[in-house]
Structure 1
Amino acid sequence: MDAQLLNKLQQTHTAVWNEKDRATRDAMMQTIYADDITMYDKDSILTGNTAVSDFIDKLFAGDANFNFTVTKPMESTQNGARLYWDIRTGPQPNVLTGMDFFIVENEKVAHLFVFMDA
């Protein structure tokens, strides 16, 4: 995976997870996520951009201070990439950390695995 694609994925993925306006977020998602993206986390499997955007809406509804930040530059191998992040929530910052692992097909994220640290 070339550096230009990695940079685009990192910048847009971060912007998507911080965007509160649904229409803006959905437009950004279409530039890097496959229409039938599958997102996996410990509690659920979501399919499609609408389901992922609904999930992000729920995060904002639960905490208006939600902020997704990259902690290490994205790294890739073949058609996979990983991105380490933290999420700050609440008026008194509570920090959650984790990693997203992407499987990229045709220059779009087909699968997104979300790992949250304990």
Structure 2
Amino acid sequence: MDAQLMNTLQQTHTAVWNEKDRTTRDALMQTIYADDISMYDKDFILTGTAAVSDFIDKLFVGDANFTFTVAKPMESTQNGARLYWDIRTGPQPNVLTGMDFFVLENGKVAHLFVFMDAQ
């Protein structure tokens, strides 16, 4: 995966997960995620950009302090990439950490595996 694609993916993915406006977020998602993206969490699987955007909406409810930040620069191998991140929530600093693993097909994220670190 070339450096420009990795940079675009990292910046846009971060923007998607921080965007509170649904219309803006959905437009950003269309640039890097396949329409039928599958997002895998240990407890559930979401299919499609609308389902992922719905999930992000739920994260923002009641938490104006929600912030998704990059912890380490993205690394790639073949058609995959990983991104370590931090999420800050609540009025008191509460930090969640984890990693997203992306599988790209035809230049867009087809599969997104989300790993949350134990708290």
TM-score by length of 2: 0.98
Per the TM alignment, residue 62 of structure 1 is displaced from its structure 2 partner at its CA by 4.0
The equivalences for 1:68-79 within 5 A come to 68-79=68-79
What amino acid is the match of 1:81?
Answer: A
Partner of 1:111: 111
Partner of 1:87: 87
The equivalences for 1:1-118 within 5 A come to 1-118=1-118
- After TM superposition, which residue ranges in structure 1, 4 or more long, deviate above 6 angstroms? none
In structure 2, how many angstroms separate the alpha carbons of the residues matched to 1:47 and 1:31? 17
Root-mean-square deviation over aligned CA pairs: 0.5
Percentage identity across paired residues of the two chains: 88
Q: How many residues align?
A: 118
5+ residue gaps, structure 2, are: none
Per the TM alignment, residue 63 of structure 1 is displaced from its structure 2 partner at its CA by 1.6
What amino acid is the match of 2:30?
Answer: Q
Q: What is the CA deviation profile of residues 76-100 of structure 1, one whole-angstrom value per residue up to 9, with x for unaligned ones?
A: 0000000000000000110000000
TM-score by length of 1: 0.99
Give secondary structure in 1 for the equivalent of 2:61.
Answer: helix
